[in-house]
Structure 1
Amino acid sequence: MSTSTTTVRHEPTAPVGIRFIALYALGQLGLWAGLLTPITVTLSVKVGAVDPEGKAASLGLVLSAGAFLSMAITPIWGNLSDRTTSRFGRRRPWLAGGALAGAGGLLIMAVAQNVPAILLGWCVTQVGYNAAQAALNAVISDHVPERQRGRVSGILGPMSNIGILVGTFLTTMVVDSTSLMFLLPGVFAFAAIGLFAAFLPDRPADPGLLGPFRLLDLLRSLWVNPFAHRDFGWAFAGRFLIFTANAFKLTFGFYVITDRLGYAPAEAVSLVFTATLVFTACSLFTATVGGWLSDRTGRRKVFVLVASLIMGAGLLTLGFAASFPHYLIGSAILGFGTGTYLAVDMALVVRVLPNRDNAAKDLGVFQIANSLPQSLAPLIAPLFLTIGGGDQNYPAAFTAALCFAVLGALTVIPIRQVR
């Protein structure tokens, strides 16, 4: 496999069919099942088992380290994918290899007996799945024409939530085996991503259009000038703030159920599945309707703004939940907002990419806005969790999440290329 970068690539015009969309959605579903199930459930269970006294700090360390690694490595994978001249295509090798490496990281965590081993496994998982994610993200720019992106994004957007749902369901089947709770989502992810890779109409980069490859290019993978590309910068800031808000829920949602609502960890696994089911049902509905309406009206910004505010309201409800039914209401509100947000914001982002010829690289930079909050939220959360004494002030932490969501909503206003 050789690497370099294409300089010319035309915008896709041919519409994509149902089989392509279904397999693309399946690949996204598998990725998120493998990557987000540990964040949502199994890492909390594993870290709580090996370090019950310091579980919050240890979990924050593991998630932060993995997210920082993800932030650094994803744009590099994207750059290399854009420049790949393998006969298997420029996306397919990264899809298959990333899924395999991600499963290997889950295996390490499955057999880990201490926090450092869990940390190692999580870093390997992040490296692998982010290679696959860099390639997956670029497929929409490679193959989906502008007029279909809202609808396709509306289908792809909820896949992260459905992936959590599938992953947590698999964990409920093997709740007595922590090892299998890690491994089953990994097997599913490998099968789903592999099937999409097998049918993807992928082509290698054209060697005749490649410039010389320099190591410095990898460092440049980590940067897009937000002043030269202001709309991209505002979109990046918005995604960063919204995902920072959502990271509070991903990191501490399980502990809200155990610490605030008083459920045992084994029971909490099933409750997380129930909450995820409610969240996913609501997000599927609004993703489908929101994506269709956005394409129909030609507008993106108003949908992203309103959806962000709804997400903030859902997060606040979760943090103040006094019972599990109350927690379910928060999950529903968050789902309604998240569905539309993920559907429409991705279409907005693809529209403001600095250079569509380097879509995987630029989307890899944008992925930093998804990954960095996973590091920052566990680090800044103690500032709010410790308000008033103790370390379980979840209402204060989720109020902070609401503030991040409101700020994220406001960032779409200055964007000019998109209505």
Structure 2
Amino acid sequence: MDTQTVKKRPPYRIGVGLAVGVLSWLLPYVGVNSTLLPRLLQQIAPAQKVQIVAELATIGMIVAAIANVIFGALSDRTRSKRGKRTPWIIAGSIACAICFWLITITTSIPVLFVIWGVYQAALNAVVGPLLAILSDLVPKEFKGTISSFYGIANSVANPLGTIVASQFLTKVTMGIWTMIAIELILGFLSVAIIHEPGNQDAEVEPLHGKQLLEAFIFPVHGDLRDFYLALFGKLLIVAAHYVIVGYQLYIFTDYMKMNAGKAASSLSIMSTILMFAGMIFAAVSGPIADKIGSIKKMMVFASIVFGIGVLMPMFDAAPWTMFAYAIIGGSAYGIYNSVDQALNVSILPSKEAAAKDLGILNLANTLGQILGPIVASVMITAMGYRLIFVAAFVMCVIGGILFQMIRRVN
């Protein structure tokens, strides 16, 4: 009886480890990508800052598209005393920290492009394997609950990265060093908490010819319809979020005409609202999804409400509209983050290629974080800031429609 009771409990330790792991890579990424790096560009290339942000995003998108698949596939086939995911998480965290350090000592834009490309590769060596732990170690009946840990961390890391980074707008190098410490400390803590079992004795099936090719490409067998609907739906939602987050500093300074001090204060307020709204709704949404047995409905609802949130700054170039976005959008993004990974593991074409396929699904997150600023840059350059919020709203609506079309998940 006691054994059965233990088996029926969600594996909360894994959930905590996943949450710490998400904080380890996402908080530094958001802090550097959305605040510290744009601020650095204001200092070293003020006239080209908007264009350079878009170019960095393009480089990141190309590298991430390749690295996500490669590192996921390599992780699936890794055998070690620490398991198949842990070695990649550790190595990737160290490489990310080195790239951040290099950013602090260069003033060359071409060199910065190279460093950012290497960083994106290292980042995806962490992200794909970390996500695969949810598929590897969590029973189906608890995926929504444990996914909520991921969602809480995601909801916290996005705004907290901005809150922390905004304290260093006048001390960019110190801010990046802070992100290095977070990356390393939390990355190592994550794998220690998860304590992935060793798999050095597990067999690895040799790959030849067609099998070798398929191990490193997008899935081509199995039930693929829902897989690709989820992929593109997620891409649009995350891109909509980063249309705003990727240019949030410039929205306050250029669109709302605020000085650096007031912009930093407003960023902190907005990010705090985002963090608490997202955290609260992420905490309750995963268990609710498990209870009602409907991940899809939660995703569609979150998409629609998030669309309303991202539209708010269009109505007035004043800080209150960004705070309204934080309340509405933050709540919806918390719901989305809570059930996002539960949806992912429910539509995988093959469990044997879990990390590779989850890496591809995670491209929606990675590429969305990159596509959003690219879309925003093009629209800002052509038509100004106001219409980027309309574009984000349209992305949310289309994303919700794609989620509604999924069949295998209720």
Shared fold per TM-score greater than 0.5: yes
Moved over 6 A (4+): none
Secondary structure at 1:158 match in 2: helix
Deviations 1:379-402 (A, max 9, x none): 3334432455xxxx2221110111
Superposed displacement of residue 204, structure 1? 4.3
Question: How many residues get paired?
Answer: 403
CA distance, structure 2, for counterparts of residue 378 and residue 164 of structure 1: 15
Deviations 1:22-58 (A, max 9, x none): 2321121111112221222111101111110111001
On the 8 A contact 2:73/2:215 being kept in 1, the answer is: no
On the 8 A contact 2:298/2:336 being kept in 1, the answer is: yes
CA distance, structure 2, for counterparts of residue 247 and residue 311 of structure 1: 12
CA distance, structure 2, for counterparts of residue 219 and residue 327 of structure 1: 44
Deviations 1:59-118 (A, max 9, x none): 110122112211210111111111111222211111111100011111111222132232
CA distance, structure 2, for counterparts of residue 53 and residue 282 of structure 1: 36
Superposed displacement of residue 290, structure 1? 1.7
CA distance, structure 2, for counterparts of residue 111 and residue 14 of structure 1: 52
Q: Does 1:380 align with 2:371?
A: no
2:89 to 72, 87, 95: 95
Secondary structure at 2:247 match in 1: helix
Compute the RMSD of aligned alpha carbons.
2.2
Deviations 1:208-256 (A, max 9, x none): 5311245973674231238841111111121111122122112222211
On the 8 A contact 2:215/2:353 being kept in 1, the answer is: no
Secondary structure at 2:217 match in 1: coil
Secondary structure at 1:344 match in 2: helix
2:16 to 22, 27, 32: 22
In structure 1, the partner of 2:392 is 401
Q: Does 1:145 align with 2:139?
A: yes
Report matched runs for 1:10-409 at 5 Å. Answer: 15-205=9-199, 209-213=203-207, 217=212, 220-225=215-220, 228-388=223-383, 393-409=384-400
Superposed displacement of residue 207, structure 1? 5.2
On the 8 A contact 1:99/1:128 being kept in 2, the answer is: yes
Aligned CA distance change for structure 1 residues 21 and 380 (closer, same or farther; 3 Å): closer
CA distance, structure 2, for counterparts of residue 275 and residue 235 of structure 1: 29
Using the TM superposition, name which of 341-350 and 370-379 deviates more.
370-379
Using the TM superposition, name which of 39-48 and 96-105 deviates more.
39-48
- For 2:55, the aligned partner's letter is L
CA distance, structure 1, for counterparts of residue 156 and residue 321 of structure 2: 22
Secondary structure at 2:284 match in 1: helix
CA distance, structure 2, for counterparts of residue 361 and residue 209 of structure 1: 18
Superposed displacement of residue 377, structure 1? 3.3
On the 8 A contact 2:160/2:275 being kept in 1, the answer is: no
- For 2:408, the aligned partner's letter is Q
On the 8 A contact 2:92/2:122 being kept in 1, the answer is: yes
CA distance, structure 2, for counterparts of residue 265 and residue 60 of structure 1: 22
Deviations 1:313-357 (A, max 9, x none): 111113444211221111111101101111122211211111112
On the 8 A contact 2:155/2:337 being kept in 1, the answer is: no
- For 1:409, the aligned partner's letter is G
CA distance, structure 1, for counterparts of residue 247 and residue 161 of structure 2: 18
- For 2:380, the aligned partner's letter is L
On the 8 A contact 1:66/1:119 being kept in 2, the answer is: no
CA distance, structure 2, for counterparts of residue 142 and residue 295 of structure 1: 19
On the 8 A contact 2:50/2:377 being kept in 1, the answer is: no
Q: Among the aligned pairs, what percent are the same residue?
A: 26
Secondary structure at 2:405 match in 1: coil
CA distance, structure 1, for counterparts of residue 114 and residue 8 of structure 2: 43
CA distance, structure 2, for counterparts of residue 185 and residue 218 of structure 1: 37
On the 8 A contact 1:15/1:145 being kept in 2, the answer is: no
On the 8 A contact 2:57/2:371 being kept in 1, the answer is: no
Higher helix share: 2
TM-score after normalising by structure 2: 0.92
On the 8 A contact 1:320/1:394 being kept in 2, the answer is: no
TM-score after normalising by structure 1: 0.90
Secondary structure at 2:37 match in 1: helix
Secondary structure at 2:404 match in 1: coil
- For 2:339, the aligned partner's letter is V
Aligned CA distance change for structure 1 residues 215 and 81 (closer, same or farther; 3 Å): farther
CA distance, structure 1, for counterparts of residue 173 and residue 69 of structure 2: 31
On the 8 A contact 1:108/1:117 being kept in 2, the answer is: no
CA distance, structure 2, for counterparts of residue 192 and residue 278 of structure 1: 24
Aligned CA distance change for structure 1 residues 148 and 409 (closer, same or farther; 3 Å): same
